[in-house]
Structure 1
């Protein structure tokens, strides 16, 4: 459940923007290939590390210990929480659809049994989005297995969730069943609740041949689009008093659920307008929520699973919507995930641009990597994925000092992508670009930036080694005027880390806005 939303706050204005661009090298080198055997191995590793066959349930963490970072779920957080288990159940369905294996067919039934043992009364959960993920997964399980229990559970949950529709904010389903008053704490209507219910309603319409479900699907979709969608920008939720305040947080799962809802209604009606909506949402995420064409790292805990939801629905757009232009993107992301797995146990971490570390990995993060290899056909490509060489700073990792020191912003015009990183003049902070190259060698990389307060200095490290101790970013005429500065760096074949860091001892301690790293 998205408890973290309750403490999210608006970002402050940033005063420095930077972007980095790196030219793509020629093909060459050797690495792993995305093959059918890779997909098999990724799923086998995921099940072996996380699945408890006696409990018929997935562990939260790869070390099978409870950590305070995400101590939610049965047995004090030993096992995954409500909505995570729904996503992991769908990962098993992804594998079953690809392979037809009796092992995964049995797991579909077993996981459902194990979940009901841990949660004998699902309705004690007040979060409608949590219930909605299970309604959607149950409908999918029915389609795959024909088991009536799954259809019955899906229709029951859909009915309970749909009862949470009312006229506040012009319609929509509430996020929580215990927060229905505009302006009340936790009272919001969000994409994560409403868009999945469109997909579920269409599945129920198909299963029952009951037009009432299609009517509800259309009703929910129309409200969601008119309230939470602004062109190709998919907003997170509406809250507050009166007509409400839109929160425009960017998450890949919002784009995934909305485009998935559009694909479902296209399936049901054949109306091309739904395909247009789906492609608009997909295009925004594919072009702007990436680092060199790899889906961005959005964080740990709930956020680690967001790109799984996006990839699953983008693949539906590709196959059910007849949009083959997304195949290469999905295959490259699958290869990135596979190439960065942990060799000791085959688990894929939350950031597909860098190698999975030695610490425990959360099951939702690992499931995202396992799922994308199940979703798309293997292309047999052998090599690293360098992408297009453009790494947007707002999509890069940030090392903060004392919980702050820099923010993402889009206030000042002239940036590329979704914005830039600014508010940056705190020692110990850095922007960390995880880059990938086909071959080892030196590259000249370029930072795009704005320095409206005067000259600014930063250091550059590559894989922990200083390559520029005092790189000067010359003053620009305003925060909407951008300059570039280049530096030559040595890079590995495969993954490297380019770190742009702040040290007050360097002098020129003015703010800097970083927009892009390019040239790889």
Structure 2
């Protein structure tokens, strides 16, 4: 049984901890904020020499979560300042050479516009153009991991599909929905393990367009974005097909990527975000799947169980600093402070708590 408002309170504590430790202005410029890459920060972090573009996108997404949990003018101001900080630090444009990075910022900006009324249409347009242009027929379709590369992977194609589907569902070009469907179909054809139903990482492509090698690593990140894409596309029609795929992913995660209902960690660095991303989209599955098909309530309950169990473990295994809780990269283990320095790891924990608080607000039970 979920205790009323307890999870919201925990998410608020995580929010304050990340803000107090990591948020700094960009080069002293008024009206800007970014998250330092580590805590305690060294000079590279304090001056934002080290710039993890996609970590900042998830920081922005977490602040949108916080605003939805409790809308305030102060939270809206942080969202505005983060958006400006990202643009200032990125120097020349809203995009970079990594299609996954660009898709994550696009998703965060779409949510900031819809939920917080912080609107950047030129940024959304630039990101949409970049993602549309990333599709090629090499290896049968899909977009690249980065420009001028030979690798196509789920971490780029998954968030791109979610972004394009949301753009279409919000009244944009219907062709973007077709692109999103084709992207997930490509993942299903080439990068899903027939044994577990889980997504592999990606594949390398010869210049001729033929597949050279498949990277069969199984990451929590990949399952999160594939699940999120299936759920988002399912909103727009033909839910049976898309929810079948979503249900398969939820079951696969429960059976292969969780221990006692707690999603497995993937270390620090970029891996610090992987489990949080999966839990974010498990929460969406828990909300949306029963709404689209009441006969699939058990799938929603299983997704909710994974969210709640992961959030409880992350909270119980935290360590404490003067500035607030520190989450570890593996929520099932007590946090070791040296493993909790990266912003990515703290965002993963915060994201997990916000996902649980979202389900709490909607009275979703396991």
Q: Same fold (TM over 0.5)?
A: yes
Structure 2: runs of 5 or more not aligned:
291-299, 361-366
Other-structure match for 1:302:
270
Other-structure match for 1:214:
177
Higher mean displacement: 312-321 or 339-348 = 339-348
Other-structure match for 1:100:
71
Shift of 1:329: 2.3
Matched ranges for 1:225-304 at <5 A: 225-231=188-194, 232-241=197-206, 242-304=210-272
- Using the alignment, how far apart are the partners of 2:133 and 2:14 within structure 1? 40
Count matched residues.
334
Matched ranges for 1:47-86 at <5 A: 47-53=19-25, 55-65=32-42, 75-77=48-50, 80-86=51-57
Shift of 1:233: 2.2
Other-structure match for 1:410:
none
Shift of 1:60: 0.7
Partner secondary structure for residue 128 of structure 2: helix
Q: TM-score, normalised by structure 1?
A: 0.61
Matched ranges for 1:198-213 at <5 A: 198-213=161-176
Distance 1:379 1:204, change over 3 A: closer
- Using the alignment, how far apart are the partners of 2:344 and 2:13 within structure 1? 18
1:111 maps to 2:91: no
- Using the alignment, how far apart are the partners of 1:282 and 1:74 within structure 2? 41
Greater relative CO, 1 or 2 (CA 8 Å, sep 6+): 1
1:41 maps to 2:20: no
Shift of 1:82: 0.7
8 Å CA contact retained: 1:34, 1:334: no
Shift of 1:215: 1.6
1:30-83: CA deviations, max 9, x gaps? xxx95432222121112111112565110111101268xxx8x97332xx4111
* Among candidates 195, 206, 211, match of residue 158 of structure 2: 195
- Using the alignment, how far apart are the partners of 1:299 and 1:61 within structure 2? 14
Distance 1:267 1:356, change over 3 A: same
8 Å CA contact retained: 1:34, 1:378: no
Partner secondary structure for residue 289 of structure 2: coil
Other-structure match for 2:136:
166
> In angstroms, what is the RMSD of aligned CA positions?
2.3
Displacement over 6 Å in runs of 4+: none
1:403-453: CA deviations, max 9, x gaps? xxxxxxxxxxxxxxxxxxxxxxxxxxxxxxxxxxxxxxxxxxxxxxxxxxx
The answer to which structure has the higher strand fraction is 1
1:257-304: CA deviations, max 9, x gaps? 001000010011142110110111121112211233221121110011
Q: TM-score, normalised by structure 2?
A: 0.85
The answer to which structure has the higher helix fraction is 2
- Using the alignment, how far apart are the partners of 2:288 and 2:144 within structure 1? 29
- Using the alignment, how far apart are the partners of 1:310 and 1:126 within structure 2? 24
Other-structure match for 1:353:
332
Other-structure match for 1:156:
126
- Using the alignment, how far apart are the partners of 1:276 and 1:94 within structure 2? 28
Partner secondary structure for residue 366 of structure 1: helix
Structure 1: runs of 5 or more not aligned:
1-32, 180-186, 381-520
Partner secondary structure for residue 377 of structure 1: helix
8 Å CA contact retained: 1:35, 1:379: no
Distance 1:352 1:66, change over 3 A: farther
Larger Rg: 1
Distance 1:334 1:110, change over 3 A: same
1:128 maps to 2:91: no
Other-structure match for 2:295:
none
- Using the alignment, how far apart are the partners of 2:252 and 2:122 within structure 1? 36
8 Å CA contact retained: 2:318, 2:335: yes
